[in-house]
Chains A and B, each alone.
Chain A
Amino acid sequence: MLRTLRSKPWLARPLFWTEVFAIINVGFIGFDVAIAHQMNAFEHSSEYIPVFYSMAAAPLLIVAMMLGGPEPATRRARPEGYAPWRVSLSRQIGLLVGFGSLVVGIAGLILHLRADFFQNMTLKNLVYTAPFAAPLAYAGIGFLIMLSRMADGRTREWASWVVVLAAGGWAGNFVLSLGDHAQNGFFHPSEWTSVIGAAIAFGFMTAVLVVPDNRPLRLLAAGVMMLQMAVGLAGFGLHVYANLARPSATLWASFLYGAPAFAPLLFNDLALLGLLGIWALAVNRNGEPARAEVELQPVA
């Protein structure tokens, strides 16, 4: 293993894993959106946009990785061993995908604003309106993809922005958990777990952002993230159980209209991003990174 890490040092750096995280997320969100919009029977043709976008974006990022190396490069920090045109093209593809994600996310937010809540702003409509904050997941991923190509992945600045995006994700997750379970009227008290969990995670991510150099705090925050993973898995199990236990015409209908099975896995997803951010804060010290320490390597 050590030999592998020596020959492929990018495996031991958060930048590569953050990029992998982004590729998986941009692809999976399309699948999740396809299910969500299926509930609406894709009433508007624009509802297909995120699905097709994800189908194109994830492969494009993989192509970019193959062209420019496993770690995204900024204009200044370029990996050795790769032709400059390849690195440049890889970066341009990444920026394009990131910007596209941003556009899809913000456009989705605006399209979701046509929901009831924005015609009649009541608490009731807020609870049952189309999840207008959900498309911002694309925006978050878009920012992450662009971040790795606009800020040096070896710097504290990059690490801090990863933590910012993780904290933003937890804030969004808090709103989504609150809104989704409010539709149920928190019928089962266990539904509060996700709301409380998301709030704690947001609090600790913010704290780490304000006090990034305190190791015990980072460790505690990492522990909180690990706990969120358990919350996510438990939620996934409870949602699947609720759909299986509830009689419906078909199993597909149960999952389509029942408890959203994948939604709790957002806890695991954001916990991973939080851990990546904490890891990056730990390894990307203040000041210029030691060149030897974080030298980018070409793909073997």
Chain B
Amino acid sequence: MSFRGLFIAVLLSTAMIVSAFVLQAKRPRVEVDRPSADLVKATGKCADCHRKETSAVVHEFEMSRHAKAGVVCLDCHQPTKGQEPYDHKGFTITRKLTSNNCRACHEQQVDEYMKSRHAAPAWAAVTGAEDFTPEQIAFAEAIHPGAVDRPAHPLVAVQGAASINKGCRQCHDIGKPNPDGSIGSCTACHARHVSSVELARMPETCGQCHMGPDHSQLEIYHESKHGVLFNVQRHIMNLNARPEKLTTEDMPVPTCATCHMSGLEGEKFTHDVTERLSYFLFDPISQRRPNYEAGRRNMKAICLKCHTNPKIQEFYGGAEAVVRSTNKLVKEADEILAGLRKENLLTPEPFDEPIEYLHFDLWHYGGRTAKHGAYMGGADFVQWHGYYEIVSKLTELKKSAEEIREKAGKTPEESARAAEAAQAAAEAAVEAAEAAAKAAGEAAGRAAEAARGADLPADVFTPGANDQPGGAADASNTPK
């Protein structure tokens, strides 16, 4: 045999084989060391087609931290338990991603979200309990009594499906139950392919839903000093900082997420947006949450990164005074409506008479705005979009009630007597309800707080007559 021929054959073959091994070895391990061949292929195969179709999706993903960490399309798009598999060009994927897909890697965050009002209570606020399984209702009701096992919002019937689908549900689907048994989708705040922490920290992300006359948080934030500073300093902030490592150097000015969720400088970060709240501000008459003390303490821990304790106490005192004051005004409006109902001058159906819309606007717009404005530092929203709206609508409400009575042929004296009787009855009913709620809340709160009772902040209002929502307490309680 020719040595020259053999040498050439062996040399060339070996060189090619070695170069193939070297090339393969140079590939990032995160691309090739995967549990299945499909996960390896998805590294670039999906993008090969989707660069031509829905190319923005590919670019969004390439900007994500997921992409930098070696996560591939199939990691998220593979069906999990309860999801119907769908064959797509050689890959088995799921058509609809839910929080269950994120849970595979972010279990704690999904669990926290499930306990929050962003989960089942958000969807139930529009459609009631009908879309939930008994297990989902039981889970949510144990945390938020009455928030899920409830009827649909009365406006659903009044406005019709079209407006509800394109309106209410577009925001409230953050807690929509999914066919796989999970609830909601993390993409409501993090977006689908960029899966961005930065996006979730932007005020506009929360403001997709938390805006407008019924809950003007975005507008209030932008009026507040926080918002003004953020808009000026946004370009020097590091909104992409990892949640467990976020410092005031990254975000010297807070956004919604900083105060309500972020683990600023070692504090616990959470996806349960209720953990730092102390009042049910969205209610007509706002009462303390069962975790009132813990909520204040958690929030104040974040406030303390920028503000001194006396300043925080002063701020909280003023805000709570607004809560009590608006409660009083809303209760007055409630009593007027209750009186008319007692006199059979209103039908039992909601939203079928002008005065009911007036009453709804009073607390749903003016009342909420004043309270949110007070807690978020939006003075104009406390005053002109808040209190002014409340008192002007209350005046209209009183006038409208008089007209209804006159139209029904009742004398002013009769009306006054009826109104007094109704007021007394309403007060009794409200007080009974409040007492019951308070007792339940305090019992739960005591149980939860027993271990930490000694740590209660100094400015926590002592339960008593003056501290009743809508009671006589006012701004004089504010520590100076």
Interface of A toward B, CB cutoff 8 Å: 39-40, 43, 115-116, 123-125, 127-130, 174, 178, 182-188, 192, 195-196, 198-200, 202-204, 206-208, 210-211, 214, 216-217, 220-221, 247-249, 253, 256-258
Contact = CB atoms under 8 A, between A and B. Distances in A.
A124 B34 CA distance: 15
A184 B8 contact: no
A216 B5 CA distance: 10
B47 interface: yes
What is the interface of chain B mostly: helix, strand, loop, or mixed? helix
B24 A214 contact: no
A116 B2 contact: no
A37 B10 CA distance: 37
Contact of B40 (A187, A196, A204, A206): A187
A44 to B, nearest CB: 10
Given A253-B90, A258-B90, A128 B43 contact: yes
A187 B52 CA distance: 27
Contacts of B23: 123, 178, 182
A211 B89 contact: no
B9 A203 contact: yes
A123 B5 CA distance: 33
A127 B44 contact: yes
A214 B165 CA distance: 82
B43 A195 contact: no
B11 interface: yes
B89 A257 contact: yes
Interface stretch (B13-21, B212-220, B283-291): B13-21
Given A128-B45, A174-B16, A207 B31 contact: no
B315 to A, nearest CB: 52
Contacts of B92: 247-248
- Residue among B6, B26, B33 with most chain A CB within 10 A: B6
Nearest to B1: A216
Given A127-B44, A185-B31, A210-B8, A43 B52 contact: yes
A202 B87 contact: no
A201 to B, nearest CB: 8
9 contacts: A124-B27, A127-B27, A174-B20, A199-B13, A199-B20, A203-B13, A211-B2, A217-B6, A253-B87
B44 A186 contact: no
Interface string B35-79: 011001101110111011000000000000000000000000000
Nearest to A217: B5
B16 A116 contact: no
Contact of B17 (A115, A196, A248, A249): A196
Those 8 A-B pairs whose CB atoms lie nearest each other, nearest first: A257-B90, A128-B44, A203-B13, A185-B32, A185-B40, A199-B16, A211-B5, A249-B87
A130 B48 contact: yes
Given A129-B48, A203-B14, A221-B9, 10 more contacts: A124-B31, A128-B43, A178-B20, A183-B45, A185-B40, A199-B17, A200-B13, A204-B9, A214-B5, A253-B90
Contacts of B37: 184-185, 187-188
B13 A186 contact: no
A203 B44 contact: no
B4 A210 contact: yes
Contacts, number: 123
A160 to B, nearest CB: 14
| Chain B interface residue bracket vs A | 35 or more
Contacts of A125: 44
B226 to A, nearest CB: 41
B12 interface: yes
Interface of B: 1-2, 4-14, 16-17, 20, 23-24, 26-27, 31-34, 36-37, 40-41, 43-45, 47-49, 51-52, 87, 89-92
A220 B1 contact: yes
Given A216-B2, A253-B87, A257-B90, A206 B9 contact: yes
A203 B10 contact: yes
A187 B31 CA distance: 11
Nearest to A195: B20
Contacts of B9: 200, 203-204, 206-207, 217, 221
Contacts of B34: 185
A206 to B, nearest CB: 6
Nearest to B7: A207
Contacts of B4: 207, 210-211
Contacts of A211: 2, 4-5, 8
B8 A207 contact: yes
A257 B45 CA distance: 11
Contacts of B14: 199, 203
Contacts of B11: 203
Given A186-B24, A208-B5, A248 B12 contact: no
Chain B CB within 10 Å, residue with most, of A174, A182, A202, A256: A182
Contacts of A115: 48
A208 B13 CA distance: 13
A124 B43 contact: yes
A39 B49 CA distance: 10
B466 to A, nearest CB: 68
Contacts of B36: 187
A128 B92 CA distance: 19
B1 A39 contact: no
Nearest to A200: B13
A127 B20 CA distance: 12
Q: Which of A187, A208, A247 has the most CB of B within 10 A?
A: A187
Contact of A124 (B12, B44, B52): B44
Nearest to B86: A249
A253 B89 CA distance: 7
A40 B50 CA distance: 11
Contacts of B13: 199-200, 202-204
B89 A210 contact: no
B52 A123 contact: no
Contacts of B49: 40
A207 B51 contact: no
